[in-house]
Structure formats: structure tokens, C-alpha cells
Amino acid sequence: MNTGSTNTEQTVAVSVTVNGTPYVVDVPPRRLLSDALRHDLGLTGTHVGCEHGVCGACTVLVDGAPIRSCLVFAVSLDGTQITTVEGCCADDGEMGPVQQAFQDCHALQCGFCTPGFITLITGYLEDNPAPTPAEASEAIAGNLCRCTGYQNIVAAVQRAAELRRPVVEERASRSPGEDR
């Protein structure tokens, strides 16, 4: 049986800033943020592992705080600032500190869960710049990885803390408002 109709579900215009770039996107209200990022904005770095909020692969930062993008409707986030794994790169487009730490410590294998860890850790290190291994393990404990056994991810959290220190210090040494 074939039909030829097209989808005319009502849409809502949503304005979000993703990785510093403003977007206005028309989506149905039911569009999950994860799907909006991946399929409407083409930012496929955010992965979907369970769609019920347990695995954490879809974690993004909303106004700096890690959340599960499969557990929010895009429409609900109108006006927010979103950071995805693509936005965790260094200014020159090379690997950012958390990303570099993941390579250094072999903290990924298949790489599917990795974007969720990288955004989570990026957000976490902003608040906790020098975690102990136990704190690092605790910090990543809401995200599932089926490949690595986590040991190297914990090491990567510490390595990332080390790598970002000069960047943070430089940021702090600049006078307030300079980068506005």
C-alpha cells in the first residue's frame, strides 16, 4: 500500500544559539532536542543511545549545565545557549582539552557514547577544575559506556583538568569584560 501525502504537522519557530551560532528552526512541538540538533541542524555529534534519559550519550550543555537532550523538547529551550560536542573544540577547530584528553588516555573505543561524556565533563570541570579520581568517577557516573570500562575515562577527566589549566588561567588573567 502506498500513499503520497505529505506531513503538515504544525510547527513552532524556535530560536537557539548552538555553539555560538544563532539558529531559528521551525519544528513540531514534539521534536526532541536531540532530534532537532541532529536532524534539523545537522549537528550529528550528539548521539541518541536510549531515548529515555539513562545512557547520557545525548548530553549537551544548556546555559552551561549538562542535560539530556532526549528528555527535553526543543521548543522548551527557546532562547537558550546550547553547547554540543562540536562546540567543545579549541578556538582553532582542533581538539579541545577534554577531547585531547580522551585521545591521550584512550578513553574511547567505538566513540558512540563519547560526545555525551565530553559535554558532561566540559560542564563539570567548569565547576570542579581539579577533581580527585574518586570525584571524577562520581562525576561521570550518570553516563553509560559499553566499551571502555570507564577506567580510562576517569583518567581523561584528570588529564583534561591538567590540559585546560593554562587556558583557564589565561582566561582569568584577562581583565574582566575584555572578551565581551
Partner 1 sequence: MKPSPFTYHRPHSADEAVELLRAYGDSAKVLAGGQSLVPLMSMRLAAPEHLVDINRVEALQSVEVGEDEVRVGAAVRHSRLERDEEVYGAVPLLRQGLVNVAHPAIRNRGTTVGSLVHADPAAEMAAVLLLLDGVVELRSATDSREVAAADFFLGPMQSATGPGELAVAARFGRPPPGSGSAFVELSRRQGDYAMCGVGALVTTGQESEITSAKVALVGVGDGPALVDVTSAAAGPGGAFREPQLAELLASQIAPESDIHASAEYRRHLALVLTRRALGQAHERAAA
Partner 2 sequence: MSTRLFGQRVPRSEDPRLVTGNGRYLDDLGHDALAAAFVRSPHAHARIGDVDVSDAVDVEGLVAVYTYEDLVSDQAEHGSRMAEALPLLIPHPTLTHGRTPYPLANGEVNHVGEAVVMVVAVDRYVAEDAAGRIHVDFEPLPAVVGIERARDGGRLVHEDVPGNVAAVMVQQTGDADAAVDAAPHSLELELEIERSASMPMEGKGVLARWDADDQSLLVHTSTQTSTSVRQAVAAKLALPVDRVEVVTPDVGGGFGVKIMHPWPEEVLVPWAARRLGRAVKWTEDRREHFVSSAHERGQLHRVRVGYDDEGRLLGLSVRFWHDHGAYIPYGLIVPIITSTQLLGPYKPGVYRVEFTSLYTNTVIVTPYRGAGRPQGCFVMERVMDAIAAERGIDRTVVRERNFIRPEEMPYDHHLVFQDGRALRYDSGDFPASLEKLRKLVGWDDFAAFREQARAEGRLVGIGLACYVEGTGVGPYEGGHVRVESDGTVVVSTGLTSQGQGHQTMLAQIVADELGVPFDRVRVTTGDTRRFKYAVGTFASRTAVMSGSAVAMTARRVREKAMRIAADALEASPEDLEIVDGQVRVKGTSPSGANVSIDLGTVAVLSNPLRYAFDDAARRATQFASPADPARAPISPGDAPGLEGTEYYSPTQSTFANGMHAVVVETDPDTCEIKILRYCVVHDCGTIVNPMILEGQIHGGVAQGVGGALYERMEYADDGQLLNASFMDFLMPYSTEVPTVEIDHLETPSPLNPLGVKGAGEAGVIPGSAAIASAIEDAEGFPIRRMPISPSELFHLRQEHQS
Binding site for partner 2 (CB under 8 A): 1-9, 28, 30-31, 38-39, 42-52, 54-55, 57, 84-86, 88-89, 95, 99-100, 102-104, 106, 108-115, 118, 137-138, 140-154
Question: Which contacts qualify for 34-39: CB closer than 8 Å, 24 or more apart?
Answer: 34/58, 34/69, 34/70, 35/74, 36/74, 37/69, 37/82, 37/84
Report the sign of the C-alpha dihedral through residues 63, 68, 74, 76, in that order.
Answer: negative
Q: Looking only at residues 14 through 43 of this chain, which bind partner 1 when binding is defined by CB under 8 A? A: 28-30, 32, 35
For residue 9, give the C-alpha cell: 504537522
Q: What angle do CA 180, 164, 90 make, to 5 degrees?
A: 60
Residue 136 in the binding site for partner 1 (CB under 8 A): no
Binding-site member from 19, 59, 84, 100 for partner 1 (CB under 8 A): 59
Q: Smallest distance from the beta carbon of 82 to partner 1, in angstroms? A: 13
Question: Does residue 26 contact residue 41 with C-beta atoms inside 8 Å?
Answer: no
- Output 56 or 96, the one with its CB closest to partner 1: 56
AA letter at 163: L
Q: Which option in partner 2, partner 1, none does residue 37 bind, with CB closer than 5 to 8 A by kind?
A: none
Residue pointed to by grid coordinates 541542524: 41
Q: Smallest distance from the beta carbon of 135 to partner 1, in angstroms? A: 12
Binding site for partner 1 (CB under 8 A): 9-10, 12, 28-30, 32, 35, 51-53, 56, 59, 62, 65-68, 70-73, 75-76, 78, 120, 139, 141-142
